[in-house]
Structure 1
């Protein structure tokens, strides 16, 4: 018997607030197949889908079969998004290198276009991942009422209500707020830890740290010694040297 989805209370977020805004440069562009005029518009939609799900897709990451099915009209945008999230690239990039909680947070951001409401929602969806697998979790998001009301079958998901007219700076994009690896896995992989004071701290494995007696610990002391000129030496002229006594007797 499958465990039902736990109840979690939605929090007040920008994505839940209806707004009447005038479109401008800061307004996210909505990609949909309902008003495509040319093949180039479909190309832009596909590229936007890769940016939304993968953030960046190399040539080896592209799903050629899904692109062909979308171009021929055999699948909708919703099914195309489902295929991208269930691809090997997304699995290896987000699921294999993160915990279930982190995977749920990143997938909700990319598929539903909003942040998770609370830790309770993370736990609820993590149970779905553990019991029904990744495919069951993705199907629950794609077929949810929230997704259908916000995007339907034709609209590509996007970060909803990121920029508000009453704020000078909007919410941070998801790819910057939630990078692919969390702090724990960045430390395990040896990634440099960036500090906003323009200084970089590198991760050093405990076994490689110098112990007492290591010559590297005396490097600074050796550099501080000025061995170029002896302390008590006096300059001697070549005219005052007795070369006959300096030559060894044979």
Structure 2
């Protein structure tokens, strides 16, 4: 018998109140497969899914088989998101490098598009990881009413209600507030590193820089050439045999 999800109350009005803001550049762009027909639009949707789940996907991190299935409409966007969450890259980069509580926070931010409400929500979902494993936790998270009402089967998850009309600045991105590695693993990997710069660099405006063909560009090269000037002779005048220098005709 599986333990039911513990109850928790939302503690943030940001996630419960519908947004009535006027759309702008700061508003998230919604990628949906429902009206996506061209190959370029599908590629943009796949890139948006990688950015949402991995933040950045290298060539070795890409799931080629899942991408092929999504392009051929064999799976939905929700299935593609599930495949990324269960991939080896996500497992090694997030699940192994964090505790269950922090991993729950990472998944809720990326899957539901919001921050966790409180510690009680972390505890409730961490119990699901302990009892049902990683796959069971991901399935229940994707089956929640919150995910289905906001994203459904065809929409890539995105950050919801990041820009607030009553504040000068919106909420910071997930990758800044919740980095991939926990503090413990960041210390093991040796970052952040402090690099001291020993060279003092000076700034020169563009209009003061030497243009093409200027002699200043060849100054260093000219200074590096060896000196070939003729040095004056040190021969004394008294040692010169003038008679041997005068040409004359020999007779037999």
Q: Which TM-score tier does this pair reach, normalised by the shorter chain?
A: 0.7 to 0.9
Give the corresponding residue for 2:32: 32
1:12, CA displacement in angstroms?
2.0
Q: Structure 2 unaligned runs (5+)?
A: 197-252
Task: Give the Cα–Cα distance (whole angstroms) in 2 for the partners of residues 15 and 40 of structure 1.
Answer: 32
Give the corresponding residue for 1:90: 90
Give the corresponding residue for 2:168: 168
1:7, CA displacement in angstroms?
1.2
Structure exhibiting the larger radius of gyration computed from Cα positions? 2
1:143 aligns with 2:157: no
1:172, CA displacement in angstroms?
0.3
Task: Give the Cα–Cα distance (whole angstroms) in 2 for the partners of residues 97 and 145 of structure 1.
Answer: 29
Give the corresponding residue for 1:73: 73
Q: What whole-Å deviation, never above 9, does each CA across 1:149-185 have from its counterpart, x for those lacking one? A: 0101111100101012222211001011100012222
Task: Give the Cα–Cα distance (whole angstroms) in 1 for the partners of residues 162 and 116 of structure 2.
Answer: 14
Q: What whole-Å deviation, never above 9, does each CA across 1:191-229 have from its counterpart, x for those lacking one? A: 2367xxx99xxxxxxxxxxxxxxxxxxxxxxxxxxxxxx
SS in 2 for 1:184: helix
- 1:132-211 pair list within 5 angstroms: 132-192=132-192
Task: Give the Cα–Cα distance (whole angstroms) in 1 for the partners of residues 150 and 10 of structure 2.
Answer: 16
Task: Give the Cα–Cα distance (whole angstroms) in 2 for the partners of residues 192 and 70 of structure 1.
Answer: 37
Q: Which runs of 4+ in 1 moved over 3 A?
A: none
Give the paired residue count: 197
Q: What TM-score do you get using the length of structure 1 for normalisation?
A: 0.75
Give the corresponding residue for 1:204: none
SS in 2 for 1:7: coil
Task: Give the Cα–Cα distance (whole angstroms) in 2 for the partners of residues 27 and 125 of structure 1.
Answer: 29
Task: Give the Cα–Cα distance (whole angstroms) in 2 for the partners of residues 193 and 11 of structure 1.
Answer: 36
What is the aligned-residue RMSD (CA, Å)?
A: 1.7
Give the corresponding residue for 1:17: 17
Q: What whole-Å deviation, never above 9, does each CA across 1:108-150 have from its counterpart, x for those lacking one? A: 1000001111111111111100110000000001011110001
Give the corresponding residue for 1:245: none
My pick for the range that moved more, 30-39 or 57-66, is: 30-39
Give the corresponding residue for 1:121: 121
Task: Give the Cα–Cα distance (whole angstroms) in 2 for the partners of residues 131 and 38 of structure 1.
Answer: 42
Q: Structure 1 unaligned runs (5+)?
A: 200-250
1:188, CA displacement in angstroms?
3.0
Q: What TM-score do you get using the length of structure 2 for normalisation?
A: 0.75
1:89, CA displacement in angstroms?
0.4
Task: Give the Cα–Cα distance (whole angstroms) in 2 for the partners of residues 56 and 112 of structure 1.
Answer: 19
1:87, CA displacement in angstroms?
0.4
SS in 1 for 2:164: coil
